[in-house]
Amino acid sequence: MAKPLLMLLWLITSSILVVSEGQSGTLSVLQAPTEVAIRLARDPQSLSEGSTDFGHIIHKHPVAIMNPASTSDISVLIKFSNSLDIPFSVAARGEAHSVNGQSMAFGGVVVNMSCFRNNNGGSSSSGGIFVTEKTAAPGDYVDVGGGQRWIDVLHETMKRGLSPRSWTDYLYLTVGGTLSNAGISGQTFRFGPQIQNVYELDVVTGKGEEVTCSREINSDLFYAVLGGLGQFGIITRARIALGPAPTRVKWLRLLYNDFSVLSADQERLISMNESVEKNIPNYVEGSLLLNQSSMDLSFYPQTDRPRITSLVHQNGIVYVLELAEYYTNDSQTTIDKEVEELISGLKFVASFNFEKDVSYEEFLDRVHTDELVLRPQGLWDLPHPWLNMFVPKSRITDFNEGVFKGILLKQNISTGVVLVYPVNGNKWDDRMSAMIPSEDVFYVVSLLHTSRFDEVEAYQKLNQMVLQFCAESGIQIKQYLPLNMTRKQWVDHFGAKWSLFEQRKAQYDPKRILSPGQGIFNVNNK
Ligand code: FAD
């Protein structure tokens, strides 16, 4: 029997089974047109994958996983759902590196965007990666399928000596997934988040329409989708700005025992203007070393670890400024002098500056290097009750006192990686859906906890304490990758943009089909 026919027969039989379980969405999904039905998988392994993410906290079961062969398959699926009296939900799944079920679709269909990965060499609408032929100049770009991972984009563009300019810390995330949030890292202060570095998108809207959009055409959809948490359409192609790729990186960590000294130095670095100062950093981040048993000192030379540990013991918290200066073979002779000049005015604890010289790819792919160490120990696939926030610059000192010193340091559980670094608000476009505080400079603060399965609740309580402290102290944070918000909290999150966000939902996804796992419009899904 032909494979599609077999699959259809299997789908029909399993629908009887599931309907008897009382899931009302099941039958409707299984009545999909044949061209869609043959793309649906309902085997236990696929369903289990579709109800899991990097958080390992939420599990919501879809009725089926779609493995689309083309963007029009996605369009037909969404149009079919729209045609029903009770539509089923649809969620694009990039790599499911969300931590709170955002890429799940309870009782609906999860669209496996990784299907398009092997299409390099086809047409740009088939989801591959296509770099323009021009040499490095303003205007160079790469056309990338929405399901492509940033690591593959890096490899393809580097073959032409080009590279995207704005990154995330980890590259095994998908283009559609990060563009639905913002996509931030140490380059954001200079080039803006990844959503700022997009020229054009192909989107399948929540009505199933296939639309190309940019700042010039269908601009409202373009701005809606960027940072839009998957609410308005599924990104099937993105045109991403490129610049020349460097070859190597001076990667530095400087240690501070005083938060206000660290933040003054960070703010000075991100305020540097490339048209005035010739030597400005390519990347600025920061993190904490807390006096806890699980300090990660792997970056530092073995011989220096004892003195770093004793600095942390003395101070309780040591603050780390992380910097990168890119260079090419041409600038090999001058780079050391440039780095020396760059750090000469910085007020880190004397002699606590550390440097590595690595390839550009090694630098960008640094978190994957950690993943390769953690995975075999079973430490990568543990729950991740993360909390990510943007904190206004005017209150970051209070945040340090109340959260870093007041809450994190006093807890009896290991906090894992804690990031803190400032970015420039003027590098964000307010017409996009992503939300940031209203100050010129704000801090990215990420509490990247890794938890045992029996500790999740304790971490969630810790996160609640942090949010409560901010609320009670009047620190107007915005959550990044927001989680577990009530309707009122979502309205507050979007503030003056809420009515536009709601209007856009009514326009592009009137039946509220897309990305229910975000819990914005489909609260019952959470
Ligand atoms: P998924 O988790 O699969 O999806 C995220 C949301 O977007 C879901 O609602 C989904 O339905 C929707 N979606 C997915 N694909 C599409 C599409 N093509 N079109 C429309 N909607 C879509 N983020 C940063 O900004 N900076 C970082 O430095 C950073 N570091 C990280 C490090 C690690 C180890 C991990 C696990 C995550 C990190 N993230 C970071 C978070 C990351 O940006 C989010 O997890 C994001 O959701 C991307 O993951 P994903 O591609 O797997 O998307």
DSSP-derived secondary structure for 390-424: EEEGGGHHHHIIIIIIIIITT-SS---EEEEEEEE
Q: Is the pLDDT of residue 15 over 50?
A: no
φ, ψ for residue 334 (rounded to 5)?
-105, -10
- Domain CATH number, residue 449: 3.40.462.10
Q: Which ligand 1 atom is at minimum distance from the Cα of 480?
A: 25
- Average pLDDT of span 109-136: 69
Torsion of CA 287, 291, 297, 300, to 10 degrees: 80
Determine, yes or no, domain membership for 525.
Answer: no
CATH no. for residue 223? 3.30.465.10
Q: Which of 136-145, 291-300, 325-334, 508-517 has the lowest mean pLDDT?
A: 136-145
**According to the 3-state scheme, what is the secondary structure of 467-498?**
HHHHHHHCCCCEEECCCCCCHHHHHHHHHHHH
User: What average pLDDT does range 384-409 have in this prediction?
Assistant: 97
Q: Could you tell me if 408 and 383 are in contact, meaning their C-beta atoms sit under 8 angstroms apart?
A: no
List beta partners, residue 286: 321
Determine, yes or no, domain membership for 526. no
Please indicate whether residue 97 is annotated as part of the active site: yes
Q: pLDDT-based confidence at 10, cuts 50/70/90? A: very low
Other beta carbons within 10 angstroms of residue 20's beta carbon come to 9
pLDDT range class, residue 294, cuts 50, 70, 90? confident
The stretch 317-339 carries a mean pLDDT of: 94
Residue 342 lies in a domain: yes
Kindly report the protein residue whose alpha carbon is nearest to atom 32 of ligand 1: 170
User: What pLDDT was estimated at residue 20?
Assistant: 32
- 186: nearest Cα among 288, 322, 285, 270: 285
- Is the pLDDT confidence value at 270 over 60? yes
Domain-embedded: residue 363: yes
Q: Which is the closest atom of ligand 1 to the Cα of 91?
A: 11
Site of tokens 């699980």: 294
Residue 511 lies in a domain: no
List the residue whose alpha carbon is closest to atom 34 of ligand 1. 170
Lowest model confidence (mean pLDDT) among 125-139, 159-173, 256-270? 125-139
Of the candidates 253, 288, 252, 261, the one whose C-alpha atom is nearest the C-alpha of residue 345 is 261
Q: Report the chain's C-alpha Rg in angstroms.
A: 23
Does one domain contain both 257 and 337? yes
Nearest CA to ligand 1 atom 27: 168
Q: Which atom of ligand 1 is nearest to the CA of 194?
A: 25
| 179 Cα to the center of ligand 1, angstroms | 8
Q: Are residues 11 and 147 in the same domain?
A: no
Q: Is 440 a catalytic residue?
A: no
pLDDT of residue 11: 41
List residues near ligand 1 (CB under 6 A).
54, 91-98, 102-103, 113, 146, 168-170, 173-174, 176-178, 180-185, 229-230, 234-235, 367, 481, 515, 517-518
**What's the angle, vertex CA 146, arms to CA 489 and CA 506, rounded to 5?**
40
Can you tell me which atom of ligand 1 is nearest the CA of 94? Answer: 3
Residue whose CB lies within 8 A of the most ligand 1 atoms, among 51, 112, 178, for a mutation test: 178
Residue 513: the pLDDT is: 97
In this predicted structure, the answer to whether residue 2 has a pLDDT above a threshold of 60 is no
Statement to judge: residues 11 and 33 lie in one domain: yes
pLDDT of residue 275: 83
Residue 107 contacts residue 124 (beta carbons within 8 Å) = no
338: its two tokens:
């440039």
Closest residue by Cα to atom 43, ligand 1, is: 178
* Calpha distance 473→461 (Å, rounded): 18
Q: What is the pLDDT of residue 329?
A: 85
Cβ(29)–Cβ(109) below 8 Å: yes
pLDDT attached to residue 413: 80
Find the catalytic residue in 169, 200, 202, 365: 169
Nearest atom of ligand 1 to the alpha carbon of 367: 34
**140-185: per-residue pLDDT in tens?**
999 999 999 999 999 999 999 999 999 999 999 999 999 999 999 9
For the CA of 99, the closest atom of ligand 1 is 45
Same domain, 276 and 419: yes
348 neighbors 254 (Cβ within 8 angstroms): yes
Mapping DSSP to helix (H, G, I), strand (E, B) and coil, where does residue 462 land? helix
Question: What per-residue confidence (pLDDT) applies to 24?
Answer: 55
Same domain, 28 and 51: yes
3-class DSSP state of 258 = coil
Q: State whether 237 and 255 are in the same domain.
A: no
CA of 307 to the centre of ligand 1 (A): 38
Give the DSSP H or E segment for 78.
helix 71-83
Query: How many domains are there within the chain?
Result: 3
Torsion of CA 255, 258, 261, 267, to 10 degrees: 80
Predicted pLDDT of residue 139: 79
> Which residue, judged by its Cα, is nearest atom 37 of ligand 1?
97
In the reported structure, the alpha carbon of residue 261 is separated from the centroid of ligand 1 by a whole-number distance in angstroms of 33
Same domain, 304 and 258: yes
With cut-offs at 50, 70 and 90, classify the pLDDT of residue 415. Answer: confident
Ligand 1 center from residue 145 Cα (angstroms): 15
Q: What percent of the chain has pLDDT over 90?
A: 83
Whose alpha carbon is nearest atom 38 of ligand 1?
170
Residue 258 has pLDDT above 80, yes or no: yes
In the DSSP assignment, the letter for residue 149 is B
133: annotated active-site residue: no
236 and 353 inside one domain: no
pLDDT confidence of residue 7: 45
Task: Examine the fold and report which residue of 85, 113, 141 is the final residue of a domain before the chain moves on.
Answer: 113
Residue 364 backbone phi and psi in degrees, to 5 = -65, -30
Q: Do 318 and 392 have their domain in common?
A: yes
| Cα–ligand 1 centroid distance for 108 (angstroms) | 20
Of 4-8, 136-140, 227-231, 243-247, the poorest mean pLDDT is in 4-8
The reply to whether 355 and 468 lie within a common domain is: yes
Among 244, 268, 300, the domain-final residue is 244
Mean pLDDT value of segment 107-134 = 73
**pLDDT value for 129:** 76
Considering only residues 294 and 498, tell me which one the structure prediction assigns the higher pLDDT: 498
The pLDDT, as a whole number, for residue 126 is 56
| Catalytic site residue from 73, 97, 143, 200 | 97
| Assigned token pair, 134 | 């021009």
Q: Is the pLDDT at 16 greater than 60, yes or no?
A: no
Q: In terms of domains, do 292 and 347 share one? A: yes
Residue 488 in domain: no
For residue 132, what pLDDT is reported?
Answer: 65
The larger pLDDT score, comparing residue 356 to residue 122, is at 356
Residue ranges making up the domain that contains 44 = 2-113
pLDDT value at residue 523: 61
Distance 225 CA to ligand 1 centre (A): 14
Is residue 460 in a domain?
yes
Average pLDDT over residues 417-425: 98
Chain Cα centroid distance, residue 389 = 13
Residue with tokens 């476009």: 429
pLDDT: which is higher, 4 or 412: 412
Report whether pLDDT(246) > 70: yes
Number of Cβ within a 10 Å radius of residue 99? 22
pLDDT at res. 288: 97
Tokens of 343: 């750090």
Q: How far is the CA of 362 from the centre of ligand 1 (A)?
A: 21
Instruction: Answer yes or no: do 352 and 445 share one domain.
Output: yes
Domain boundary among 244, 262, 290: 244
Residue 410's Cβ-count burial label (10 Å; 0-12, 13-18, 19+) is exposed
Q: Which residue has the tokens 């649906």?
A: 40
Ligand 1, atom nearest to 174 Cα: 51
Question: 74, 78, 89, 103: which to mutate for ligand 1, most atoms within 8 A of CB?
Answer: 103
Query: What CATH number has the domain bearing residue 109?
Result: 3.30.43.10
Question: To the nearest whole number, what is the mean pLDDT of the chain?
Answer: 91
pLDDT at 200 over 70: yes
Mind listing the pLDDT tens digit for each residue in 75-101?
Answer: 999 999 999 999 999 999 999 999 999
From ligand 1's centre to the CA of 96, what distance in Å? Answer: 7
Residue 489 lies in a domain: no
**Residue 486 CB burial class (10 angstroms; 0-12, 13-18, ≥19):** exposed
